[in-house]
Amino acid sequence: MKSSHKYILRAVITGVIMLVIAFVAILIWGRGVPSKDQKLEMSAGHVVATSSAPQVIRLWPGKAPGSENWTQQEVEVDTKDEKLVRNVVDPELTAYFPATDKANGTSVIICPGGGFHMLSMGSEGIEVAHYLNSLGITAFVLKYRVTRTNTDYPLVLLHRLKTSVDMQPIIDEMSPLMIADGQQAIRLVRNNATKWGLMPDHIGIIGFSAGGYLALSVAVHHTTDSKPNFIAAIYPLAPAVLNPQNEKAPMFVLCADDDPLVPPIQNSVRIYDIWHTAKIPVELHILAEGGHGFGMTKHHMPTDNWYELYRSWLIGQGYLSATNQ
């Protein structure tokens, strides 16, 4: 009994420490600068699959449906260690194509996390894209819509992270818009797959934290042209209703056992149970330590090389050749 109390106390202390660290980091980064208007954007028809440079694609042909009247200005913070974006109004896909002699036709849409308030575009987006490119996989980083924030949002976010009753309305508000962005991202890639040298039945999605919530939501809410062929959820927040029905898309789930923000039992383990019960291929990894939000960042913990497990899973599922790396 004493050891149980010690474990609970340690978990609580760890959670508080993680929240304080997150708050300090966000406070430092909070203001940022407005996104540059001169950023090169293009339609899907102008994307060059042989380009080695990232290409930004407008997700919707006009204003994104459901947020046509939004007036907030997008803000981004680009530091040595991370790239954060908040107040996203115009969703985008940034395409990262691998070297042409390495490309294998598989593609993955990457959904960064950020607690529905911002997006961690660096360690949970761009760095993931670079790793996938090294495997010959074409990567698309999704900048999806998040809730409106002001300069005091670090305090607001910290409070909501600790109080589910205040966070749930934000999730309810953003879910339809996020899901629409995720569906449109898959639809856009599939509709242009042949032109870009991609296989339309080898389109996956991977999401981190709130991005995992998005990936899971798209996995069970889609039309034929917006259906992902395979899914990965990294320390994901699981939607309250998660019914895969007749879906056959295999699932990869990974988290750390000491995650203080998204408890594995109620989220990652629950996802595994749902997919397993539905007799859909699923693989779950719960690593001993690593906390939440590790992304591609090295912390000298068991989570440092999580992506190697993902690579092995892709090989096992037939979306990556063991020799094409």
User: For the chain, how many residues are written?
Assistant: 325
The 10s digit of each residue's pLDDT in 148-170 is 998 776 677 777 877 778 889 99
Question: CB–CB of 145/64 below 8 Å?
Answer: yes
The 10s digit of each residue's pLDDT in 286-312 is 999 999 999 999 999 999 999 999 999
SS3 228: coil
Helix (H) and strand (E) counts in the chain: 7, 13
Residue 81's pLDDT is 77
Residue 159's pLDDT is 77
CA dihedral 236, 241, 246, 248 (to 10 degrees): 0
The 10s digit of each residue's pLDDT in 210-230 is 999 999 999 999 999 999 999
Residue 13's pLDDT is 40
The share of the chain scoring above pLDDT 70, in percent, equals: 86
Q: What is the separation of C-alpha 94 from the centre of its chain, rounded to a whole number of angstroms? A: 14
Pull the structure tokens for residue 194.
């042949």
The 10s digit of each residue's pLDDT in 2-38 is 444 444 444 444 444 444 444 445 444 445 555 544 4
Q: How far apart are the first and last CA of the chain?
A: 49
Residue 28's pLDDT is 46
Listed residue (28, 40, 38) closest to 84, CA to CA: 28
Name residues whose C-beta falls within 8 Å of residue 278's C-beta, 6 or more positions apart in sequence. 244, 245, 247
Task: Work out the mean pLDDT of the chain and round it to a whole number.
Answer: 88
SS3 208: strand
Residue 33's pLDDT is 55
Give 242-305 as a DSSP string: ---TT----EEEEEETT-SSS-TIIIIIHHHHHHHHTT--EEEEEESS--S--TT---SSGGGG
Which domains, ranges and CATH numbers included, belong to the chain?
A: 2-317 (3.40.50.1820)
**Averaged pLDDT for residues 47-71:** 94
What share of residues in the chain are helix, strand, coil (percent, to 5)? 40, 20, 45
- CA distances 312 to 110, 129, 283, 308, 318, Å, are 18, 17, 11, 6, 10
- The yes-or-no verdict on residue 39 having pLDDT over 50 is no
Could you tell me the maximum CA-CA distance found in the chain, to the nearest angstrom? 63
- The yes-or-no verdict on residue 198 having pLDDT over 70 is yes
Pull the structure tokens for residue 318.
């037939």
Half-sphere exposure of residue 321, counting CA atoms within 13 Å on the CB side? 8
